[in-house]
Amino acid sequence: MSQMQEFLMDKVDVCVIGAGHAGCEAALACARLGLETVIFTVSVDSIALMPCNPNVGGSSKGHLVKEVDALGGEMGKNIDKTFIQSKMLNRSKGPAVHSLRAQADKADYSRSMRKVLEKQEHLTIKQAEVTDLIWEEDPETSIKKIKGVKTFTGAVYECKAAVLCTGTYLRARCLCGESITYTGPNGLQAANHLTDSLKDMGIELRRFKTGTPARMEKKSLDFSKMEEQFGDERIVPFSFSTNPEDIQKEQVSCYLTYTNERTHEIIRANLDRSPIYAGIIEGTGPRYCPSIEDKVVKFADKERHQVFIEPEGIHTDEMYVGGMSSSLPEDVQLAMYRTVPGLENCRIVRNAYAIEYDCIDAQQLYPTLEFKKVSGLFAGGQFNGSSGYEEAAAQGLIAGINAAMSLLGREPLVLDRSEAYIGVLIDDLVTKENFEPYRMMTSRAEYRLLLRQDNADLRLREKGFRIGLVSKEEYEAVLKKKSQIEEEIQRLKSVTIGASEKYQIFLEKYGSSPLKTGTSLAELMCRPELDYEKLGEIDPGRKELPDSVIEQVEIEIKYEGYIERQLRQVEQFKKMEKKKIPQDLDYDEVPSLRIEARQKLKNLRPVSVGQASRISGVSPADISVLLVYLEHRKGKN
């Protein structure tokens, strides 16, 4: 929409709009696959910016990072280089929910990612606001095709594909009480023009909202009134390519404190000044990271809420106040924060605020993250209605890979719900109705026993290698690991021990019931009180194996029953995923579909019967009808 004189700046393969966590992955994937790529950002200083929490990973998000890494993405490697504290969450629980989380040095993280981008061959960084997409329409099929992008200054970049990763910048406005500024996160310039261009193309936009807490001056806080939270003694890396020995280092601490009744009183007394409760905010906010106002209102019976004080980095004294995001006015914020033990004399460096932005309902996308209406236009990240750095990176990677695959004339990469959290994430986004920024959760993954963070490499390295983002050495390492795991499991299943005294003594020592007949080591390992390490005492035949192999062997054997059950479910699931629905299917021609189902199917145009079955409002009967119709059609052709 800019009025500037247009001129042709460059002809490239791919334009990536936005250089946040999604944009970086998308651009790197394309460039690494040899495509000339430009990445646009409103500020080169804000590449891979972390405008909210200072950490990467966490429950289920850690899984996403590992999967991104296994496929050849950058996030895992980058956090391994720049973390200042690391923790494996849920360690006391099952292996499927172990989740790695690292505190990042935000500035380092951003700088380090920028360096990777700068060094990448075929990749150009450009500071500019993209205001228009250029496209042409096929008069016969009325399918639009992307031709290029135009910046605010009139520069035109011709391209064959574009990836939208605009995050929270589109027509952004930030709210802090009565004060409203029309900026992106962190006071950065918003992108105010692209929305109109997208609407011109027939893309529908919606408005979401999210928020962030205040940052405080470290020296104004009294940590003696808080509980110190340490990192793990033994640090586990995110990236499968990082050598654990290289990242063992001194870590910084976080601190835990709590709100109290006085905090809640102040909030309740000032609710009328909250833009959300006063009705100024139109966007839908996420329920999983509610503002402190929301927590106090919705969970009125809770006497206190946790507050985590986390460093923003080691070169800054700013501290992030986790758990207390807010859009209350500045004076109320200060009063509220100062009721919290340790924060009595706090000085706020940056106020908490809520941010509203334009994004899309991702049902407009194929599972490849390409727009159904615009060929060559892809989208990833918060623009698709998600939230979180990790969710963004995962989508960015897939959008980038598929933009590249389409230009290279190769098969797209679509991961299904049984292959990866990334598959669950994207399937949910493009299939289901989302009414708030979408966050990954382990409960969303129905096959989570199979989708563990510890086996992301076994699941996805090969795909990454075939695409071309994983090196031969990295791939061969996984092959070796695989065969070691299989051999060891086989060995443990075939080595049997008898009921002789030596073994009974061993069993007695660990409170395990004595043997009556011969049994395999694998069977013994299934006993809750025994494990691989303990069995070493009666297993002289074992080879020296890496910890990562032993971990897999142990999980595969101990949870075999559960894992097999999920594998059987996956088999059923795959059947329906494999039944593809032609995109030219005329649903009006399918008899006996119920009206609601017909409408939904026409709207969403699912790619497989499996996807169709997950659309709300499509019943099993509709699926049956659809199956019969597809067979009928196949028979005719």
Partner 1 sequence: MDTDTIAAIGTALSNSGIGIIRVSGKEAVHVVNQIYRDKNGSQTMHSMKSHTIHYGFIVDEKGEAVDEVMVSYMKGPKSFTAEDTVEINCHGGILLLNRVLELVIKSGARLAEPGEFTKRAFLNGRIDLTEAEAVMDVIGAENELALKSSVSQLKGAVSSRIKELREKILYETAFIESALDDPEHISLNGYKEHLEKVLKELLTEADKLLSGADDGKILKEGIHTVIVGKPNAGKSSFLNLLLGEDKAIVTDIAGTTRDILEEHVLLKGMDLKLIDTAGIRFTEDAVEKIGVEKAREYAQNADLILFMADSSVPLDENDEEIIRLTSSKKCIVLLNKTDLKPVVTEDMIRKAFYDIAEREPVIIKISARESVGVEEFEKALQEMFFKGEISFENEVYITNLRHKEALQDAKTSLLMVEKSLRENLPEDFYSIDLMGAYVSLGKIIGEEISDDLVEEIFSKFCMGK
Taking CB under 8 A as the binding criterion, the range among 64-72, 296-304, 355-363, 473-481 that sits at the site for partner 1 is 296-304
The least CB distance from residue 467 to partner 1, in Å, is: 30
In the bound state with partner 1, the residue whose beta carbon lies nearer, of 99 and 124, is 99
Subset of 391-450 contacting partner 1 (CB under 8 A): 432, 441-444, 448-449
Alpha carbon 299 to chain centroid distance? 27
Please give the angle made by the CA atoms of 100, 240 and 526, to the nearest 5 degrees: 65
The least CB distance from residue 416 to partner 1, in Å, is: 19
In the bound state with partner 1, the residue whose beta carbon lies nearer, of 42 and 84, is 84
What's the CA gap between 561 and 70, in Å, rounded? 27
Q: Does 562 bind partner 1 (CB under 8 A)?
A: yes
Q: Does 611 bind partner 1 (CB under 8 A)?
A: no
The secondary element (H helix, E strand) that includes residue 265 is helix 261-269
Say how many residues touch partner 1, by CB under 8 A: 52
Q: Give Rg (Cα) of the chain.
A: 26
Yes or no: say if 431 and 615 are a contact pair by the CB < 8 Å rule: yes
Residue among 199, 298, 568, 602 that touches partner 1 (CB under 8 A): 298
What sign for the dihedral angle of Cα 334, 335, 336, 337? positive
Can you give the length of the chain in residues?
A: 637
The pairing of strands 144-151 and 374-375 is parallel
> Hey, what amino acid is at 498?
G
Residue among 28, 156, 203, 289 that touches partner 1 (CB under 8 A): 289
Report how far apart, in Å, the C-alpha atoms of 69 and of each of 221, 388, 546 are: 37, 17, 20
Q: Does 510 bind partner 1 (CB under 8 A)?
A: no
Q: Which of 288, 240, 235 is nearest to 102 (CA)?
A: 235
Note the helical H segments in 441-500: 456-467, 472-494
Taking CB under 8 A as the binding criterion, the range among 66-74, 92-100, 365-373, 476-484 that sits at the site for partner 1 is 92-100
Which of left, alpha, beta for 457 (phi over 0: left; psi -120 to 50: alpha)?
alpha
Q: Residue 340 corresponds to which tokens in the numbers above?
A: 């919290």
In the bound state with partner 1, the residue whose beta carbon lies nearer, of 408 and 627, is 627
- For helices 21-32 and 389-408, the axis angle rounded to 10 degrees is 30
Binding letters toward partner 1, positions 38-67, x by CB under 8 A: ---------------x-----xx-------
In the bound state with partner 1, the residue whose beta carbon lies nearer, of 99 and 110, is 99
Subset of 614-633 contacting partner 1 (CB under 8 A): 616, 619-621, 624-625, 627-629, 631-632
Binding letters toward partner 1, positions 219-258, x by CB under 8 A: ----------------------------------------
Binding letters toward partner 1, positions 574-603, x by CB under 8 A: ----------------xxxxx---------
Q: Residue 52 corresponds to which tokens in the numbers above?
A: 């909210």
What's the CA gap between 542 and 480, in Å, rounded? 17
Residue ranges binding partner 1 (CB under 8 A): 53, 59-60, 89-90, 92-94, 96-97, 287-290, 295, 298-299, 302, 305-306, 308, 322-323, 325, 432, 441-444, 448-449, 528, 559, 562, 590-594, 616, 619-621, 624-625, 627-629, 631-632, 635-636
